[in-house]
């Protein structure tokens, strides 16, 4: 059986080794480890392998905290000591910038990291009746499969949500529509926890009673979602509590609905916003764009600095929410929001928004290629002099950064990782681009 030394991790947290010039992705292998492996998928340029024996283990290999680790697809790095996870993510960011963008950041920022457990304030769980596994299962999907993991706990979820997993199984199996309730979305706010039940059929009076009773007993709020995310409505209890998260440094409270996008890790988000604000260095009198602004996570802190903000976002619901949040925080005079599909941005559509001194870009995984291509393309419009780019995919960040640097004349002043999703392979990062 072949042996090899793991050189680094790929974007799915698989170890990388080489055999006769071929790349081998070794699942579960950690950098520096000497392992014996067997390949189970062979392609002309690479192979995928599993570990048969660890001959020399990494000093950063630890015992996974969760008994479901390895089966559940919710995370893939629990066997790797948390600060070593961050270092590996940092290396992945730097290697993407170099290999995909031929870029080296002027400065590597200290990683933003926090609690390794109990951080995940949003989650989408699947529910499925599986008789041969004893009934109702509620959890993330198993790794590389559409089966629902037999999940009894999850240390990445806040403790009170993890503790609900088994009671929820009993509740959902008692509902008359237990075969027509495929998903439970969890959203945790400052003062309440919401569970959104995706219902494919109407519930009956007995179901309503069971849900009310469960909500009272566990202090949660149920929403029902008969169709798409915007059809979700609050079912019980209809009290004063509302979902929100705080940005105490800026005296801001963002309200949200449980199916709307919010950053999953509220503690890290506070530090991320602070880092973005430091890099943006927003000043009174400036006009700043917040591209892919969502519900205004960055827009309102920018507005607090005295600058004027234009937030652009593709979801009309989020734009409406952003407007409500601006009003609730007394900032309507400094922010304007608009709906636009930024994947179809053109030099003309960008120019129509007017001049921006600075820009913050926080796109989904696909990145912002059309937007960055459109920057500074109009006669007499040089584009913003500073861009802060928050990314959840280092590959698209590197691609977009290459355009900003090699075509648009920006310098990549700095970049760093943000461990928004500990124990998973997701790499969140932040980069600063300056002109002149
Ligand atoms: C990573 S989130 C960032 C949201 C916000 N900045 C925050 O911190 O909460 C990306 C946002 O891009 C929006 N989005 C996705 N595709 C888009 C598109 N084609 N045009 C404009 N916005 C889009 C999503 O609705 C989402 O709000």
362 C-alpha to ligand 1 centroid (Å): 7
Determine which residue's CA is closest to atom 16 belonging to ligand 1: 314
Q: Once rounded to an integer, what is the mean pLDDT over residues 425-432?
A: 97
Supply the mean pLDDT for the chain. 96
Sequence-distant contacts of 54-62: CB under 8 A, at least 24 apart:
55/3, 57/30, 57/33, 58/6, 58/30, 58/31, 58/32, 58/33, 58/84, 59/32, 60/30, 60/31, 60/32, 60/84, 61/30, 61/33
**What tokens appear for 150 in the block?**
């037999």
Paired sense of beta strands 193-198 and 233-236, if any = unpaired
Q: Once rounded to an integer, what is the mean pLDDT over residues 421-432?
A: 97
Determine which residue's CA is closest to atom 8 belonging to ligand 1: 297
Inter-residue contact 351 to 384 (CB < 8 Å): no
Nearest ligand 1 atom to alpha carbon 392? 1
Determine which residue's CA is closest to atom 5 belonging to ligand 1: 294
DSSP label at 231? G
Pocket test for ligand 1, best of 337, 363, 418 (most atoms within 8 A of CB): 363
pLDDT score of 134: 84
**Which is catalytic among the residues 72, 75, 293, 392?**
392
297 C-alpha to ligand 1 centroid (Å): 11
The length of the chain is 436
pLDDT score of 436: 76
Residue written as token pair 């979700």:
232
Nearest ligand 1 atom to alpha carbon 294? 27
pLDDT score of 144: 85
Nearest ligand 1 atom to alpha carbon 262? 9
pLDDT score of 393: 97
User: For residue 433, is pLDDT > 80?
Assistant: yes
pLDDT band at 332 (very low <50, low <70, confident <90, very high): very high
User: For residue 247, is pLDDT > 70?
Assistant: yes
pLDDT score of 291: 98
pLDDT score of 380: 67
CB atoms within 10 A of CB 158: 19
392 C-alpha to ligand 1 centroid (Å): 11
Inter-residue contact 255 to 243 (CB < 8 Å): yes
315 C-alpha to ligand 1 centroid (Å): 8
pLDDT score of 132: 86
Domains 1-61 and 94-114+265-435 are alike in CATH topology: no
247 C-alpha to ligand 1 centroid (Å): 19
Summary count for the chain: helices (H), strands (E):
10, 21
Range 122-188+192-236 classified under CATH 3.40.50.2000: no
313 C-alpha to ligand 1 centroid (Å): 6
Q: Once rounded to an integer, what is the mean pLDDT over residues 19-40?
A: 95
Pocket test for ligand 1, best of 346, 364, 368, 397 (most atoms within 8 A of CB): 364
Pocket test for ligand 1, best of 275, 302, 313 (most atoms within 8 A of CB): 313
- Worst-scoring range by mean pLDDT, 54-58, 322-326, 375-379? 375-379
Determine which residue's CA is closest to atom 1 belonging to ligand 1: 364
Percent of the chain at pLDDT > 90 equals 96
Of 366, 373, 367, residue with least CA distance to 347: 373
pLDDT score of 170: 96
User: For residue 236, is pLDDT > 90?
Assistant: yes
Return the CATH number of 94-114+265-435, one of 2.40.128.20, 3.40.640.10, 3.40.50.150, 3.40.50.410.
3.40.50.150
pLDDT score of 311: 98
- Fold held by 1-61: OB fold (Dihydrolipoamide Acetyltransferase, E2P) (2.40.50)
Report residues whose beta carbon is within 6 angstroms of any ligand 1 atom.
261-263, 292-294, 297-298, 313-315, 318, 341-343, 362-364, 392
Q: Give the tens place of pLDDT for each residue, 158-179.
A: 999 999 999 999 999 999 999 9
pTM of the model: 0.95
Q: Give the tens place of pLDDT for each residue, 362-415.
A: 999 999 999 999 998 776 677 999 999 999 999 999 999 999 999 999 999 999
Of 108, 103, 93, residue with least CA distance to 410: 103
pLDDT score of 381: 74
Percent of the chain at pLDDT > 70 equals 100
Give 377-398 as a 3 state SS string.
CCCCCCCCCEEEEEECCHHHHH
Tell me, yes or no, if 39 is annotated catalytic.
Answer: no
- Per-domain boundaries in the chain: 1-61, 94-114+265-435, 122-188+192-236
């Amino acid at each position: 059986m072949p042996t090899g030394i793991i050189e680094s991790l790929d974007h799915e947290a698989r170890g990388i080794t080489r055999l006769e010039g071929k790349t081998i992705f070794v699942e579960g292998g950690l950098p520096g480890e000497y392992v014996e492996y067997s390949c189970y998928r062979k392609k002309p340029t690479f192979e995928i392998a599993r570990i048969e024996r660890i001959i020399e283990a990494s000093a950063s290999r630890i015992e996974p905290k969760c008994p479901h680790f390895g089966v559940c697809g919710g995370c893939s790095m629990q066997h790797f000591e948390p600060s070593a996870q961050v270092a590996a993510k940092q290396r992945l960011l730097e290697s993407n910038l170099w290999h995909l963008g031929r870029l080296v950041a002027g400065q590597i920022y200290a990683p933003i990291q926090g609690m390794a457990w109990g951080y995940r304030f949003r989650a989408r769980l699947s529910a499925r009746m599986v008789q041969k596994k004893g009934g109702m299962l509620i959890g993330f999907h198993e790794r590389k499969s559409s089966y629902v993991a037999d999940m009894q706990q999850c240390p990445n979820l806040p403790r009170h949500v993890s503790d609900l997993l088994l009671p929820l199984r009993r509740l959902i199996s008692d509902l008359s529509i237990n075969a027509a309730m495929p998903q439970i979305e969890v959203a945790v706010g400052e003062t309440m926890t919401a569970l959104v039940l995706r219902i494919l059929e109407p519930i009956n009076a007995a179901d309503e009673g069971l849900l009310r009773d469960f909500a009272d007993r566990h202090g949660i709020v149920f929403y029902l979602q008969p169709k798409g995310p915007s059809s979700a409505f609050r079912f019980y209890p209809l009290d004063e509590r509302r979902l929100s998260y705080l940005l105490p440094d800026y005296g801001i409270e963002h309200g949200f609905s449980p199916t709307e996008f919010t950053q999953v890790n509220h503690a890290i988000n506070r530090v991320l916003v602070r880092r973005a604000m430091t890099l943006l260095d927003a000043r009174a009198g400036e006009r700043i764009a917040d591209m892919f602004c969502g519900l205004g996570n960055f827009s309102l802190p920018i507005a607090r600095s005295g600058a004027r903000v234009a937030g652009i976002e593709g979801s009309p619901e989020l734009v409406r929410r952003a407007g409500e949040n601006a009003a609730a925080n007394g900032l309507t005079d400094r922010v304007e929001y608009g709906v636009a599909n930024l994947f179809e941005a053109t030099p003309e559509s960008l120019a129509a928004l007017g001049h921006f001194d600075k820009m913050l870009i926080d796109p989904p995984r696909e990145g912002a290629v059309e937007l960055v291509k459109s920057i500074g393309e109009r006669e007499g419009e040089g584009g913003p002099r500073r861009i802060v780019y928050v990314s959840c995919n280092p590959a698209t960040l590197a691609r977009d950064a290459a355009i900003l640097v090699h075509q648009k004349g920006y310098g990549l002043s700095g970049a760093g990782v943000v461990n928004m999703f500990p124990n998973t392979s997701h790499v969140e990062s932040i980069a600063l681009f300056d002109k002149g």
